[in-house]
Amino acid sequence: MSKDHFLEIRGLKKYFDADRPSLRFASREMRHVHAVDGVDLSLQHSEVIALVGESGCGKSTLALLLMGLEESTAGTISFEGRDITHLKEHERKGLRRKIQMVFQDPYESLNPTQNIEEIINEPLLVHGIGKNKQDRDQRVKKALEDSGLKPADVYLQRFPHELSGGQRQRVVIAAALVLEPEILLADEPVSMLDVSIRAEIINLLAELRITRKIAVIFITHDLGSVGFFADRVAVMYLGRIVEIGTMLEVLEKPQHPYTKALLSVIPVPNPRLRRERIILQGETPNPIDVPTGCRFHPRCPVAMWTCKASDPPFTTLSKTHQAACLLLVK
């Protein structure tokens, strides 16, 4: 792969302590939650990657690591050739402008006591951007209008509770845009919204990537919503990426049994096409006691006895398509 990777993640791990320190006995070793357990991923300028997986697969932790809101246990993150894995808060400040995040719940991620103008102006004040009030006002209005809240004047003095869910999510996006970021991490940005509004927000993100050349990491549990705007799709299971490829490779020619199952259960809005669904039983195992060998084997419908023993390596299926499953190892 080319060297000018703009964001590069290598062997990234994040373990949380599973026991409270005070409850730990000297004889027993501390147990860990393996939230992110060895992730490699790279992102190009204005590329959209969808990161897909069920709750507990570590996708949100990965986002927090990228934002520097959690400290990684091992591995490196580099941005424009610079290692940003362990930065002090003051060193990170400039970087924060370049990597911004949109959270899942637009009802929770806005402070109810601030009006829209204050919300969007806040990042500017924090970073000391803007020559004067007038300049900042301009930036606030531009961010709002770029987020589809036009005309901006109508919204400035409103409070979050006066807006609908979709409008609030646009405000959250505007508050990220005002810093002119190069990467936008969107953590389930539409899962709390009505279907009719989801398309709006996804289309907005797709537009920003063209108009502002922003790269987007789109985190979701719904493989169905990634079509059309993601360039590549990475499927995560228990802290690892199990399959990664271009959107069409993953959606149309999935190779990992987990990806196949995930795709099969996504409801298709066509009653003439009621397909055979591969419904995995049980739930994602708890990331404290990670299964041996392939971590998917206890739920895998096509598991072999060897899957218990050896951890499958990535098999390269095409220049862009890789999956980690023993069945693919020839």
Partner 1 sequence: MNLTPIVNKTNSQVSVFWKSLRRNPMGLVGLAMLIAILAVAVFAPLIAPVHTAEITSKDIYNAPNSTHWLGTDDAGNDVLANFILGSRVSLIVGFFAAFISIVIGGLIGIIAGFYGGRVENTLMRITDIMLVIPDLPLMVVIIALTKPSLFNIIFVIGIFGWTTTARVVRSQTLAVKSRKFVLRARAIGAGNMHIIRHHILPLVLPILVVQAVLTVSSAILNESTLSFLGLGDPTAPSWGQMLNFAFSRGAMSTGAWWALVVPGFGIVWVVLGLTLFGQGLEQVLNPRLDTHHLMPGRPVVQSETAQLPSSEKILLDVRNLSINYINDDKAPARAVENVSFTLKEGELIGLVGESGCGKTTLMLALLRLLPAAGQIVNGKVFFNGKDLTALNEDEINAVRWKEISIVFQGAMNALNPVRTVGDQIAEAIIKHMPGFPHDLRLQERVVELLELVGIAADHKDHYPHQYSGGMRQRAMIAMALACNPQVIIADEPTTALDVMIQAQILELLDSLRKKLGLAIIFVTHDLGVVAEMCDHVLVMYGGVTAEYADVDTIYNEARHPYTQELLKAFPDLTKPKKKLSSIPGYPPRLDALPAGCRFAPRCPRVYARCHTEQPILYKLSDNHIASCHLLEASK
Residues between 230 and 269 with contacts to partner 1, criterion CB under 8 A: 247-248, 251-252, 261-263, 265-269
Q: Which residues pair with 119 in a beta bridge?
A: none
Binding partner 1 by CB under 8 A: which of 164, 292, 310, 316?
164
x-marked contacts with partner 1 along 186-205 as a string, rule CB under 8 A: --------xxxxxxx-xx--
Q: Which stretch binds partner 1 (CB under 8 A): 23-31, 33-41, 160-168, 207-215?
A: 160-168
Tell me whether residue 194 or residue 289 sits nearer to partner 1 (CB atom).
194
56 vs 315 by CB, closer to partner 1: 56
Report the candidate in 197, 135, 137 with the shortest Cα–Cα distance to residue 170. 197
| Minimum separation from the CB atom of position 169 to partner 1 (A) | 12
291 binds partner 1 (CB under 8 A): no
Write out the two tokens for 135.
């300049």
288 binds partner 1 (CB under 8 A): no
Is residue 316 a contact point for partner 1 (CB under 8 A)? Answer: no
Q: What is the total residue count of the chain?
A: 330
Question: 133: which 2 tokens?
Answer: 């009030």
CA angle 43, 48, 54 (to 5 degrees): 95
Per the CB < 8 A criterion, the answer to whether 270 and 243 are in contact is no
Q: What are phi and psi of 87, to 5 degrees?
A: -115, 150
Q: Between 247 and 327, name the residue whose CB sits nearer to partner 1.
A: 247
Are 171 and 145 a contacting pair, CB within 8 Å? no
Single out the segment in contact with partner 1 by CB under 8 A; choices: 132-140, 215-223, 308-316, 318-326: 215-223
Smaller CB distance to partner 1: residue 182 or 315?
182
In angstroms, the CA 188 to CA 59 distance is 10
The least CB distance from residue 235 to partner 1, in Å, is 12
* Radius of gyration of the CA atoms of the chain, in A: 21
Q: Element (H or E) spanning 54, and its range? A: none
Strand partners, 79: 7, 82
106 in Cβ contact with 168 (< 8 Å): yes
Nearest residue (CB) to partner 1, 111 versus 318: 111
CB of 230 to partner 1, least distance (A): 9
Q: Rounded to an integer, what distance in angstroms lies between the CA atom of residue 207 and that of residue 300?
A: 38
Strand 215-220, strand 48-52: pairing: parallel
Site size for partner 1 (CB under 8 A): 77
Query: Applying CB under 8 A, which of residues 138, 157, 292, 316 lies at the interface with partner 1?
Result: 157
Q: Which is nearer to partner 1, 128 or 132 (CB)?
A: 128
Q: Per CB under 8 A, which of residues 84..143 are in contact with partner 1?
A: 89, 92-93, 96-97, 100-101, 103-105, 108-115, 122-123, 126-127
Upper half-sphere CA count for residue 17 (Cβ side, 13 Å): 8
Between 85 and 115, CB nearer to partner 1: 115
Interacting residues of 252 by C-beta distance below 8 A, sequence separation 6+:
none
CA distance 86 to 74: 10
Looking at the Cβ atoms of 286 and 310, the one nearer to partner 1 is 286
Distance in Å, CB of 123 to partner 1, minimum: 4
Q: Are 176 and 109 in contact (CB under 8 A)?
A: no
Residues within window 63-82 making contact with partner 1, judged by CB under 8 A: 67, 69
Site string for partner 1, 29-68 (x = CB under 8 A): -------------------------xx-----------x-
